[in-house]
Amino acid sequence: MAKSNDWGGPNRQWVIAEHPVTTLEARHFEYREAPVAEPGPGEVLLKTHLLNIAPVMRMYMMQGGAAGEAPLEIGEVIHGRGVAEVIASNHAGFAPGEFVQGQLGWQTWKVSRMTDAEKFRRLKPHGLPIHHALTVFGMTGFSAYCGFFGRGQPRPSDAVLVSGAAGGVGSLVVQMARLHGCAPLVGIAGGPEKCSLIEKLGCDVAIDYKADDVAAAIRESFPAGVDLYFDNVGGEILEAALGHLAPGARVVLCGSISEYQRQTPFGPRNYTNLRRANADMRGFFVYNHSAEFDAAEAAMAAWLTEGKLKAPVDVVSGFEAMPRALMDMFESTGGGKRIVQVVEGDIACY
């Protein structure tokens, strides 16, 4: 066991033991401990409070990595964003006691120079629980807001379909579509519990992909076709949506959880429907929209304060739970944004 120091270590870490090829398993993860490093000139020492869990982390662990992230080697700390407290600082821009969110990795302490590559953002004082830094005020919220409004370009009259609608991004997109006046609004989720959740969030219809014929349910729900499809899953559900597009439809490709455990990528066989419908299929990568983050945060903070927006969260306790928290995402357990609480006690407000 690594020796603790005055900071209250050790630094607990989860590293890659083996690159996954298909199903993510416990053998792909290894637990380690290391001493907590002293911050040098221009550096800060960060103590992890919360860590983000997202399906794309499985891609980070693959041999080739994921878009926007360098491939990880065996023994490297797994990539992931989180919320941390500045404990000590030799950096002119950050003071002890401040909270930040950014690329911490799966570890309980980090020494950082706060570079652009780590994409740190200082938490703004909204008077809300700090876990919102990983929901509405993190990449989850920015993906929902910038993807829906920036890439989706919704009109109040749009008929909107959202897949992965009970997840962190999808559950926010559902509410934004309802706030924007879109109708009908239909969500796709897995199981009765998640379908009940998205109905409470504003969906007119909830399609259970585990029990329903998804393509038939889409046809029934959208007599005139889908104007805007926000895709968080890819695969066969994307194909089903492409089969029932309205003229001038827009498809936003935000996530593809169904692809992350496939050995062979899935290609929609009916993509030529885009031509028939004079439709657009638009890729979306959240970091390409960083100039919009402040405006997105201001809008979502107002909605939260006014009670117009809810941020469903699935909090898992304990750093030791990180591997299982990620693996369970591919079993469709829980609803809302999944977060692991590393520091014990009540989640603080900031």
Backbone phi, psi, residue 314, to 5°: -115, 95
**What average pLDDT does this structure show over 39-51?**
96
- Lowest-pLDDT choice from 25-39, 79-93, 252-266, 286-300: 252-266
Confidence band (pLDDT; 50, 70, 90) for 3? very low
Instruction: Return the exposure string of 149-181: e unless at least 16 CB atoms fall within 10 Å of the residue's CB, then b.
Output: bbbbebeeebbbbbbbbbbbbbbbbbbbbbebe
In 3-state terms, what secondary structure has residue 146?
Answer: helix
* pLDDT at residue 89 greater than cutoff 90: yes
Q: What confidence score (pLDDT) does residue 8 get?
A: 72
Cα gap 112→87, rounded to integer Å? 12
Is residue 22 classed exposed, middle or buried when 0-12, 13-18 and 19+ CB atoms within 10 A define those classes? Answer: exposed
Cα gap 346→6, rounded to integer Å? 24
185: left (phi over 0), alpha (psi -120 to 50) or beta: beta
Cα gap 55→350, rounded to integer Å? 27
Which of 51, 113, 80 shows the shortest CA–CA distance to 339? 51
pLDDT digits (tens, 9 = 90+) for 294-317: 999 999 999 999 999 999 888 999
**Could you tell me the end-to-end alpha-carbon distance of the chain, in angstroms, rounded to an integer?**
34
Do 88 and 39 contact (CB within 8 A), yes or no?
A: yes
Which of 173, 204, 170, 219 shows the shortest CA–CA distance to 190? 170
pLDDT digits (tens, 9 = 90+) for 53-76: 988 888 888 876 655 567 789 999
Q: What confidence score (pLDDT) does residue 332 get?
A: 63
